[in-house]
Amino acid sequence: MKKLALVPIALAFLAFTVSLFAGSTQIGPDKKTWDTVAQKAARFLQSTQDKMGGWSTDKTPGVTGIALTGLLKSGQATPQDPVAQKALKYIESLVNPEKKHIAGQDPKVQLQNYVTSINVMALMEAKQGDKYKAIIGDAVEFLKKLQWDEGEGKTEKDDFFGGAGYDSKSRPDLSNTQTFLDALKAAGVGPNDPAMKKALIFVNRCQNLQSEHNNQPWAKLINDGSFIYSAAMGGVTKVVDEPLPNGALPGYGSMTYAGIKSMIYCGVSKDDPRVKKAYEWIQNNYSVDKNPGMPEVRSQWGLYYYYNTMAKSLDALGIDYVVDNKGVKHDWRKDITEALAKRQRPDGSFQNVPNWMESDQNLVTGYALMALSYCRPK
């Protein structure tokens, strides 16, 4: 009888132990922290939406898609909410039925690739059934025509081949190419599509890794797996203004995450040597305090773009922790959320140094919400 009486006690102790263990293995940030940061950011964007229905529309038509995507992906707005409906109306006004892009009616409009790609993602995130099907279909075809390929007289031997720039005649770069790939993937374009295969050729050439996929002369000089801004025109990095004396082009964090994600989207396995070498660079340079690889004077450049790209890339890799080169295990979702919480302004916004438009509070608050959408507690 005494043994039977002990059974409920033993079961209760076991349940308590299991609950403790479960609590200790939570992945991601504290839910209250995540909710607070996301809700404050959303309230800020709701307060700054302009009379056009967008954000920072006096500067560029591109910020609205980022802000709306951030609100929707983070669950801080539904497509039926007034803030989303107004933003969708503004994006609809940017649809150019003649040119097939979503960048406005001005024939001299710039950043057509970037703005159209962002707006494709926003319309897909709105999940409106077939309402935007034709618009998105036209936009995808427009984007594919912007890609540097045979249509522009380029062959696979050319360092422009497969990449995308800001516009049809702009030098291709990895930042625009990753945004182009984000849009195609969101629209349901698979890795076997010719545009994805061509893009992979360009992405391969942006990596500091000599291989059968990359014969650029500078790739072997550092050979650390990092990615640079562009392989075109002999290679460009934002780490330095000119190549190092030996011709090397150092890579940096935001482009290395962009490279990893782009390869995954283009069908490269995470066990592929290209991805593994890039991930090794991430392990050696893990940070949520700066855009790693950049010199100290530039370490904050593009920080919120970096957070979004980092979160999206690690999510694409399907990993919960990054173990750095010292053996420290990092819960990246928790780290990014806490870094954002630390940087959030009292009004809920974020703001960075002016480089790459990150002094625009609407832009970087949108980036922050996009990053947070991948950082929910698990």
- How does residue 317 score in pLDDT terms, banded at 50, 70 and 90? very high
Q: Looking at the domain assignment, is residue 9 inside a domain?
A: no
Mean pLDDT on 120-125: 98
Q: Looking at the domain assignment, is residue 6 inside a domain?
A: no
Identify the domain containing residue 65 by its residue range: 31-372
Give the per-residue pLDDT at 227: 98
Q: Looking at the domain assignment, is residue 348 inside a domain?
A: yes
Structure token digits, residue 221: 């000089």
Q: Please say if the pLDDT value at position 21 is more than 90.
A: no
DSSP, res 289: S
Burial of 33 (0-12, 13-18, 19+ CB in 10 A): middle
Give residue-wise pLDDT tens across range 150-193: 999 999 999 999 999 998 889 999 999 999 999 999 999 999 99
Burial of 171 (0-12, 13-18, 19+ CB in 10 A): middle
pTM for the model stands at 0.93
Q: Looking at the domain assignment, is residue 133 inside a domain?
A: yes
Lowest mean pLDDT among 4-18, 84-98, 132-146: 4-18
Hunting for tokens 């984000």 — which residue is that?
182
Q: Looking at the domain assignment, is residue 19 inside a domain?
A: no
Give the per-residue pLDDT at 109: 87
Count the residues in the chain: 378
Give residue-wise pLDDT tens across range 37-50: 999 999 999 999 99
Q: Looking at the domain assignment, is residue 13 inside a domain?
A: no
Give the per-residue pLDDT at 24: 56
Q: Please say if the pLDDT value at position 6 is more than 70.
A: no
Q: Looking at the domain assignment, is residue 7 inside a domain?
A: no
Q: Please say if the pLDDT value at position 23 is more than 90.
A: no
Segment (H or E) for 72: helix 63-73
Return the biggest CA–CA distance within the chain: 89
Give residue-wise pLDDT tens across range 269-300: 999 999 999 999 999 999 999 999 999 999 99
Q: Are 66 and 32 in contact (CB under 8 A)?
A: no
Q: Are 50 and 57 in contact (CB under 8 A)?
A: yes
Q: Looking at the domain assignment, is residue 248 inside a domain?
A: yes
List the CATH number of the domain containing 89: 1.50.10.20
Give the per-residue pLDDT at 224: 98
Q: Look at the chain and report how many structural domains it folds into.
A: 1
Mean pLDDT rounded to a whole number for the chain? 94
Mean pLDDT on 234-245: 96
> Interior CA angle at 179 toward 331 and 190, to 5°?
90
- How does residue 18 score in pLDDT terms, banded at 50, 70 and 90? very low
